[in-house]
Amino acid sequence: MADRVALITGGARGIGRAIALDLGQAGWSVAVCYRVSASDADETRLGIEAGGGKGLAIQADVSEAGTATRLVREVERAWGRIDVLINCAGPYHRVDVLNETPEGWREMFASNLDPVFYLSQLIAPGMMERRWGRIISFSMANADQLVAQPQLTAHYIAKVGVLALTRTLARTLAPHGITVNAISPGFIASGSAPASELESMAKRIPAGYVGAVADAVHVVRFLLSDEAGYVNGANIHLSGGWGV
């Protein structure tokens, strides 16, 4: 598994960064894309290389189809192929559904759901030709419950869409030796939410504590392994029991 190529969206910080560094330590070639966090992305690239892997940091707004195409072509030019796609990008904003704007509504779908479609469609043909591939996307705990989310409505619906798209891609690509799975985090100390908010939520988590980015890395490591070759279309809750 050492001679693999991975593309990670949202790989400059948080969970995406932790995954990138872990794959770098395993000797992988890892490309991370970012929108605005250039210094963080470059730091991640250096960390990948320090761990023994090869790194690329590429600025790309993958909510745009043309930019997603450019990103994939750039990675393929550098390393010849993409074996693994990990969709970590997932920005959100809190706004009451009745005060949401058309621009804010569309942005949540463009940033959370559209890139999974664009990039999977671009990368799948090469995986099919090589008869091996892994696609992992991040949803959110309780997205499969279809509960009301008045403050996160568009983001939440987009994450529900990620689960539906994951299952569709899994069924489509399984005959070609490709697995497509989702991970649904609950409260993870990844830097995306204030520490005070996470601390206040700990008492509502059955496990009694907030998760760490290492917990996500462990699940990704399993899904990328040959031992997980028969795991396809799954949604793995990474939440300490919250949202189940």
CA angle 26, 27, 32 (to 5 degrees): 95
Q: What is the mean pLDDT of residues 86-92?
A: 92
SS3 content of the chain, % helix, strand, coil (to 5): 50, 20, 30
The CATH number that applies at residue 233 is 3.40.50.720
Residue 114 lies in a domain: yes
Domain count for the chain, please give it: 1
Query: Is residue 62 one of the residues assigned to a domain?
Result: yes
Instruction: Give the domain extent around 229.
Output: 5-238
Residue positions counted in the chain: 244
Asked whether residue 130 is domain-assigned, the answer is yes
Instruction: Give me the active site residues, please.
Output: 156
For residue 209, pLDDT beyond 90: yes
Tell me how many degrees the CA angle 35-40-41 measures, rounded to the nearest 5: 60
- Asked whether residue 2 carries a pLDDT value surpassing 70, the answer given is no
- In this prediction, what percent of the chain has a pLDDT beyond 70? 99
- The reply to whether 112 falls in a domain is yes
To the nearest whole number, what is the mean pLDDT of the chain?
95
244 in any annotated domain: no
Query: Looking at the domain assignment, is residue 60 inside a domain?
Result: yes
Q: For residue 204, tell me if it sits in a domain.
A: yes
Q: Phi and psi at residue 34, in whole multiples of 5°?
A: -145, 160
Report, as an integer, the average pLDDT of 142-151: 96
Retrieve residue 233's tokens: 């279309």
Is pLDDT at 51 greater than 70 in this prediction? Answer: yes
Q: What is the DSSP string of 167-190?
A: HHHHHHHGGGTEEEEEEEE-SEES
Is residue 184 assigned to a domain? yes
